[in-house]
Structure 1
Amino acid sequence: MAVTAVRLWRAALDQDGDPHRWLSHDERARAARYASPEEGRRFAVARAVLRSVLGEACGLAPEEVVLGTEDGGRPIIVPCDEHPPPDFNLSHSGRWALIAVAPPGFRVGVDLEWDGRDVDCLAMARTMFQPAEFRRLAVLDGVARRREFFRLWTAKEAYVKADGAGVAGLRAVLVDGATARSSAPSAGFPAALPVRWFAAAPGYPAALVVSGGGSGGPSGPLVPADRFLES
């Protein structure tokens, strides 16, 4: 089986430096709209590191990377020449961000969550999960329930982010073993894909889904490389 050359970067969001110098006008405006200055800065750092990673992948300066969206809102790189750009996905929660980059022809989805946040696991699962997933959580309690909740949530998020369905598609996804299956995938997108789980940092469970090339995703341990805001 071929191995998909997906690369992962982990970025610390509480760090010094000026992230805004690389951001577009829209990104600066989005950062300013956050209710908390701390969260606004974390968003700005995540986007700056994303631009650094994508600029390196495309041979461009970070501020030269042009980002757009598909019709459904999924972020993409707008090609600057005749060569197709790589695919990417960004997830950030709490103090960390994860960036996944895949070669042209692949679609990648990644999600990480801070498991220390206050979450009513059963209430969220009742509205966002499949009945079988809810029943799986209901028989657990305490740490075991939270661990299973975030295992399911990160897998479902990673799938819909690769698909482009967004949060609205979460309820259609069933995590069965190490596979995420959707009853309503987007046209041409696989209904079932393998999921890879890993710890992005202590207290930050994460999941990765890759579509394309017939590989089913990378093999071996998933260890994100640290990426910090460069001066």
Structure 2
Amino acid sequence: MHPSARLHLLPVAVAAAEAGAQGQDWLTDAERQRLQAITSPSRRDTFLAGHWQARVLAAQWLQLDVGRIALDAHADGRPLLRVDGDAAPLQVSLSHSGNWLALALADAPVGVDVELPRRVRDWNALARFVFSPEECERVEAADPAMRADVFHALWTLKEAHGKRSGAGLQPRAARALTARPASPAAAEAFGWRFGNGALALALTPGTRLERTEGVAGSPACWHFTESVGSSQGQD
């Protein structure tokens, strides 16, 4: 049986209100310490929203009481779900931008990224920092009115890939990787245009996207290949 994945997108305010209704007894000691270090009210809401929803969605998938689920971290920083203290048979990835929270769960490594830009940037210059030569050409060749869309579609794919591997977005490694369109059957990543930004999901090859909630429209399908003649530059 192929592994499967689920993607959820929801407003932070809704998820934060649900988390707030539970009090804070559900937090682990480590999570409570992290929360105490966060001074921004909006960041506190986002932290609570994401950590509570990860528990709720994992409990629904595993058909367990949510009180048995906890959120820890892998050695590489990726979030780690636990059931009764032991590692759960599920992987989780979280991302937030603006007022939105994205969560992906799968029974294989998974990465998700959502980006809602707040200002106009030099998209060509940013692309040269982390994109392969082929991807840079796509951004530069785009109509100026669409350049930000092309950039964010590729940027979120890079971020999601880094989260899937646990390595994060490392510029040198990112420049050596190219996201190319794929057929649905061969896709290992999916991308959606979202507001003035983008949403991307990177799956372990062979994983089936079983369900999406809160995500509108059909996704673009992608796969990752090694770049030819990638620019090394400086990290």
User: Normalising to structure 1: TM-score of the pair?
Assistant: 0.73
Instruction: Provide, for residues 134-168 of structure 1, a one-character-per-residue CA deviation record: whole Å limited to 9, x for no partner.
Output: 23222335331100111101111111211111122
Tell me by how many angstroms 1:28 deviates.
3.7
Q: How does 1:190-205 map to 2 (within 5 A)?
A: 194-199=188-193, 201-205=194-198
The 8 Å contact of residues 20 and 44 in structure 1, kept in 2 or not, is answered as no
Which range moves more in the overlay, 80-89 or 138-147?
80-89
2:51 is the counterpart of 1:47 = yes
Query: Partners in 1 of 2:105 and 2:141 — Cα distance?
Result: 37
> Number of residues paired by the alignment?
206
2:129 is the counterpart of 1:127 = yes
Name 1:229's counterpart in structure 2: none
Tell me by how many angstroms 1:210 deviates.
1.4
2:216 is the counterpart of 1:224 = no
Name 2:200's counterpart in structure 1: 207
The equivalent position to 2:101 in structure 1, one of 92, 97, 103, is 97
The 8 Å contact of residues 24 and 63 in structure 1, kept in 2 or not, is answered as no
Query: Partners in 2 of 1:121 and 1:36 — Cα distance?
Result: 29
Structure 2 alignment gaps of length 5 or more: 216-235
2:170 is the counterpart of 1:171 = no
- Aligned-residue Cα RMSD (Å) equals 3.1
AA in 2 matched with 1:5: S
Structure 1 alignment gaps of length 5 or more: 180-191, 227-231
Instruction: Provide, for residues 25-54 of structure 1, a one-character-per-residue CA deviation record: whole Å limited to 9, x for no partner.
Output: 333443444453223322222222222212
Tell me by how many angstroms 1:20 deviates.
5.5
AA in 1 matched with 2:155: W
Tell me by how many angstroms 1:65 deviates.
2.0
Q: How does 1:39-188 map to 2 (within 5 A)?
A: 39-80=43-84, 85-103=89-107, 106-168=108-170, 169-178=173-182
User: Normalising to structure 2: TM-score of the pair?
Assistant: 0.72
The 3 A distance-change label for structure 1 pair 71 and 32 is closer
Query: Partners in 1 of 2:155 and 2:126 — Cα distance?
Result: 10
Which range moves more in the overlay, 153-162 or 121-130?
121-130
The 8 Å contact of residues 5 and 207 in structure 2, kept in 1 or not, is answered as no
Report the identity percentage.
28
Tell me by how many angstroms 1:96 deviates.
0.9
Query: Partners in 2 of 1:100 and 1:6 — Cα distance?
Result: 7
Which range moves more in the overlay, 6-15 or 32-41?
32-41
Secondary structure of 1:198's match? strand
Query: Partners in 2 of 1:158 and 1:11 — Cα distance?
Result: 18
Secondary structure of 2:146's match? helix
Instruction: Provide, for residues 149-195 of structure 1, a one-character-per-residue CA deviation record: whole Å limited to 9, x for no partner.
Output: 1110111111121111112243332212349xxxxxxxxxxxx9632
Name 2:5's counterpart in structure 1: 6
